Chain A
Amino acid sequence: MRTTVPVIVAFLSGIILVVSFFFQETSFIGGLSQELKVWLTIVGGFTLLLGVVSITRVNFSGVVRRRPGWGYKILTLISIFAMAIPSILPTSWSPLFGRNAGSIYDWLFVNLDSPMMATMFATLAFYIASAAYRAFRARSAESTILLITATVVMLWRVPMGEALLNMLPGDIPSFLNTYVMGGANMAVQRGIIIGAALGAASMSLRIILGIERTYMGKG
């Protein structure tokens, strides 16, 4: 029961989608597969809510049990509710509610959430510069190839660097774009894409046939 029902559900839903590929979209099986896609967007939405409920529970329990950093967890909880509650209230009550421009939700996103997220990732620039200095060493033939390619590509992708490359004989920027990026790099990426896609397709088949069950977890 605990594993049989999910395996049957995965098989039926998967096989309908596979078979529908070979039929007209207006056919019965086409319509059924479309309905399943709509259902998936609904169930997918709930999975995101599951994550929010989980983060709220973890922070709430941290505050109640006075775990280290509980004061900060209160801030997280306040922020969750400050964003969430006005957004689910009807706009007919106030233009501050809902998700439209001018709402609390939109204001918090534009002025706090979005710039903070951008800043979080911007800090990585300092770490990657430091990593380049510390780790990039021509220790072997392979690391030398990597080092040279990275350096030349870095130079090529900025106007000042490209101006420097243009001072050298031959059309180096064009060579880099055609033979390095569009040649060797593209060939490797293509190999990886083909390998990964074959892996994804075989994993999909295993899921549909009920051979792959690790997504169910233990118990």
Chain B
Amino acid sequence: MSASTAQTSTIATGFADPVIAAQANFHAAMTALSRPGTVTTLSAGLIAPEPLTAELAAVALTLADHETTLWLDPALAASAEVVAYLRFHTGVRIVAKPRDAAFALVVDLAGMPALSAFAQGTDEYPDRSTTIIAAVQSLDAGRHLELAGPGIAERASLSLDPWPSNLTAELAANRAQFPRGIDLVFVSAGRVAALPRTTSVSEG
């Protein structure tokens, strides 16, 4: 009895229906990446251990498994519960260096390393780069960004809070080295948006 109580207190539950939930979450992420600026619904459908948000956990459980590497920002890596939760549900390999990661989970966007610290891919294999999944407070308040590029009919915009002051310039450098580059997925409570490497971002 006491053993099972200890068990449940260490590892929180994942998706109730992994097949259907993973499809719905993937579809939301696919829509967000193919139509930058579009904010779509992401019904996480799980409870994640603090400081991991339910939406970050949902994207991680949808995309990560034993074939992928994952980097956690210091706030997440410091939590043994978060590490145990992700290892148990995905079997993912957690790496210490951002450069080795296929995915990166970030809860503290302001403290995130420079984009250039993550895997950029190579000219031959630009797909071998890091996808950053970052939790933000809001996807419709805060810094207003004007977006252009593939996936956008004419112009699109996105507002993000928080928005580190250096990130706009870093994204311009990221865009300039296309096809190499980082893709960013942002999640807030029940919602997801994305800035793939093709999007040019300006502060409006």
Instruction: Tell whether A pairs with B.
Output: no
Enumerate chain B interface residues (CB-CB to A < 8 A): none
Enumerate chain A interface residues (CB-CB to B < 8 A): none
